[in-house]
Structure 1
């Protein structure tokens, strides 16, 4: 006999919401002239939110293979939007840094993110929005702590 499906699963709801949000973000990005592919614009947005990360850490955060990210970074570097700098702690590793030339593109990506945020949060009061942000921040911190603990074992 098969087990009964849970009546409510916050985990699956969050996974589904994240998937839908990412899809909606990518669709919205496709309608904005950034001069980049949607994947490159998404990578640039991740770099913007996570400045100075190593390439490997960025690939991990984006949930893409490191070689896939290299292609995006190559294109962003050719466009003059990022530079790869040697990590002072490990010269073999590269840190990803935005250039000033990225600012106009980031303005466009930021406008997409703002519009999407308003679309997704429609109908929520300011207090509800703040509460949701705090709760999601706690969930993220919990997941990062579990991930960090797993890596240090």
Structure 2
């Protein structure tokens, strides 16, 4: 079919809509980039039996910061019930344990088990690989700048 005969139905929606005024909206762009990153991250972590959210909980538990479930919920911007479900699943798999918080016996901290640390080390490689693939079109300086700008948005002072 000649190029002039193509209709808008012949062009993929993403291509047709890229000229939309919405693509000037920073919040939309952040949400779209996040959706793409989550989909790629979940796909890469699937071979380890993880998704981005469960990987994030495991990664924080493996850092020896001993976060409480409340701290995890606040840091990850998740509802506390979601964190409970994530920790329950990781604990069922023997990857994390709940321990009493020495400074507040009413609270639990989440710590990675040896199996959890080993899985985190393997899964971290997959997570970094997908990040490199997603950011391949950016120079090192652009990646650093993007990370700094996102840190400023994520953790306003």
* TM-score above 0.5: yes
Q: Which residue of 2 aligns with 1:55?
A: 69
The Cα shift of 1:47 comes to: 3.6
Deviation readout 1:39-76 (Å, 9 max, x if unpaired): 64454245446842211232344444433432332232
Q: Which residue of 2 aligns with 1:19?
A: 35
TM-score (norm 1): 0.73
Distance in 1 of aligned mates of 2:148 and 2:134: 16
The Cα shift of 1:92 comes to: 0.5
Q: Bigger radius of gyration, 1 or 2? A: 2
Q: How many aligned positions are there? A: 136
Unpaired stretches in structure 2, ≥5 consecutive residues:
1-20
TM-score (norm 2): 0.71
Q: Which residue of 2 aligns with 1:9?
A: 25
Distance in 2 of aligned mates of 1:49 and 1:19: 26
Q: Which residue of 1 aligns with 2:90?
A: 76
The Cα shift of 1:78 comes to: 3.2
Q: Which residue of 2 aligns with 1:148?
A: none
Say whether 1:114 aligns with 2:133.
no
Unpaired stretches in structure 1, ≥5 consecutive residues:
146-153
Alignment of 1:85-124 (within 5 A): 85-124=99-138
Instruction: Confirm or deny: 8 A CA contact 1:85 1:94 kept in the other structure.
Output: yes
Distance in 1 of aligned mates of 2:64 and 2:148: 19
| RMSD of aligned alpha carbons | 2.5
Instruction: Confirm or deny: 8 A CA contact 1:51 1:98 kept in the other structure.
Output: no
